[in-house]
Structure 1
Amino acid sequence: MRTGLFSAISMLVCIGIQGCSSSYAKENHTGERLEISFRFQRGGIASSQYAIWIEDETGKLVRTLYVTSFTAKGGYEYRKDAVPVWVSKAKPQVLSSAQIDAITGATPRNGVVTYQWDGTDDNGNRVPVGTYRFFIEGTLYWENRVVYTGKLEWGGKGQDSIPVKVQRFHSSQTNEYMITDLKACHIKN
């Protein structure tokens, strides 16, 4: 997207998402999964932090799929602008080291990254059929953040393309292309 287009985007916009490829995805025993992929471009200082998580329809965090290691392992304490929505939901300060290690990783290299949800919660239990939302929150540069969200019916019909909404906070052109080409699909075999 061009810089001018980002400036013209209002606070909440619905984006059309393309279909997902499932050729390399792991499947659970039901054959159902959510797959999220996007192009990631690292920035410099005070940037490149992101988290991906699932919530139930009441807004309760069900599962964190990924969060950058810096943020989850204490960076949130002195970088209050590092994925603050995830921090408020997940409460990393009360998670054990093992729980943190299970959801973190180093900030990835530039390129396409893919994450999957198999319908389990943070304890490995299957979630009930119902409405779930996924979130991708990215700290682009200091307080400049973006939050993508989409909704799916777990146990329902699959969707080749899930509509995704984007909300921007403290918009800036610095590192605005950190997360692009986002695709989300609900695969049900």
Structure 2
Amino acid sequence: MTNIQSKIDLLKQRAIDLEVENAKLKQIIKENAKHKADNVNLSAENAKVKIELRRAMRENAKLKAESLREVKTRERIEKTMLDLDGVDRYINLVLHDRYIKLPEGGHTIIKENAKRKADNVNLSAENAKVKIELRRAMGENAKLKAESLREVKTRERIEKTMLDLDGCLYRKSLSMK
């Protein structure tokens, strides 16, 4: 009887050891599920950071392009103003050095034409500035549309992942019962 009793005691001890190990494994499964949820949250946060990084990189590229366009426009305006100054000087030289004889009022007409040309240059410069602002606004609009679409897609992926995780946790809880 002692031999049988010792086997029963060994089996009882083995059952207790298995229950302890089973409890440890259940705890590990819970921790793994928690870590998986943390990983999903970190992945979602990572996606947000990537979106923000892309947005910042796009904004940086846009600012560089705008700056380059503004520099080129400014250079064209300065060149046109220098050309206009040169035309003005030439007209004054011609008039003062009497290379041409103008009828009465001719000097006024030439000066008015030069003034109109200067006004046209100023209007062209203003037009270029308006075009730059329009391009900037169109770029901003396109950027906002792209960001909105990316955010919707990212949100949908996050929601799907969260639903998948909820399903995993539900199946785990059923298997643990």
Confirm or deny a common fold (TM above 0.5): no
TM-score (norm 1): 0.16
Radius of gyration: which is bigger? 2
Q: Which is richer in strand?
A: 1
TM-score, structure 2 as length reference: 0.17
Which structure carries more helix by proportion?
Answer: 2
